């Protein structure tokens, strides 16, 4: 059985990453704090079930489940978090030309954040998990879907983001 105290302390090393990810998920600093607190409470409650391996990926999986529950509680009538919605996105657009690349290079952090926020919850989550440095296998584990599904959804989400960024770069 894992040492609960040690696990709790090691989990603290990922607090900033969990909060930042939570802020992008919820789009709200207060809700992100709630989400992180709920995540840590669940982590402590489930410490005995952690079987080793990538602690950060385990924490993000717990956070994702907490986020889904939080959404269900706060917006019971809203569509649920549905990664399958990504499958309806169009395929990848044509590669960007030099002009577009130059435009992208001039974008500010606020533009990038706005483009990320304009994505669907599903697309934003998968793009951010990729940016967090998780492998596609780890992303599949966090999201609870097949590896092939992650590959196709990530490709579509990044394509959607490129389109959004082009809008913000104009």
Partner 1 sequence: MTPEDPTERELDQLLARRPRTAAPAELRRRMEALASETRPATPRRLGRWLAPLASACAAGLLVWVVVRPPGDTAGARVDLVEEAVNDHLRVVESSHPVEIESGGIHQVKPWFTGRLDFAPRVEFSGDAEFPLVGGSVGYFRDRKAAVFLFRHRLHSITLLVFPADRLPWRSHGLRSLGPLAVDEQRSRGFNALLWREGELGYALVSDVNLADLERLAPRLNHP
Which spans of this chain sit near partner 1 (rule: CB under 8 A)? 1-6, 8-9, 11-12, 15-16, 18-20, 23, 28-31, 33-34, 36-38, 40-41, 44-45, 47, 73-74, 95-96, 101, 104-105, 107, 109-110, 112-113, 116, 127, 130-131, 136, 154, 158, 161-162, 165
The nearest distance, CB 55 to partner 1, in angstroms, is 13
Shortest Cβ distance from residue 25 to partner 1 (Å)? 12
User: Hey, is 123 helix, strand or coil?
Assistant: helix
Provide the CB-side half-sphere exposure for 100 (13 A, CA). Answer: 12
Residue identified by tokens 């704090």 is 33
Q: Strand, coil or helix: what is 50? A: coil
Nearest distance, CB of residue 158 and partner 1, angstroms:
6
Looking at the Cβ atoms of 38 and 81, the one nearer to partner 1 is 38
Decide whether 11 or 64 has the Cβ nearer to partner 1. Answer: 11
| Those residues with Cβ within 8 angstroms of residue 134's Cβ, 6 or more apart along the chain or in another chain | 56, 57, 60, 142
CB of 9 closer than 8 Å to CB of 54: no
């Amino acid at each position: 059985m894992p040492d609960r105290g040690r696990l709790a302390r090691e989990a603290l090393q990922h607090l900033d990453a969990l909060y930042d990810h939570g802020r992008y998920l919820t789009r709200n600093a207060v809700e992100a704090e709630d989400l992180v607190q709920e995540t840590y409470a669940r982590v402590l409650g489930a410490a005995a079930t952690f079987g080793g391996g990538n602690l950060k990926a385990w924490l993000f999986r717990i956070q994702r489940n907490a986020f889904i529950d939080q959404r269900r509680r706060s917006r019971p009538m809203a569509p649920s978090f549905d990664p399958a919605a990504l499958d309806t996105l169009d395929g990848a657009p044509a590669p960007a030309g030099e002009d577009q690349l130059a435009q992208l290079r001039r974008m500010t952090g606020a533009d990038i954040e706005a483009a990320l926020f304009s994505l669907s919850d599903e697309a934003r989550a998968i793009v951010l998990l990729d940016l967090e440095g998780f492998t596609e296998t780890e992303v599949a584990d966090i999201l609870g879907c097949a590896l092939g599904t992650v590959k196709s959804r990530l490709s579509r989400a990044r394509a959607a983001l490129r389109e959004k960024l082009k809008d913000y770069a104009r």
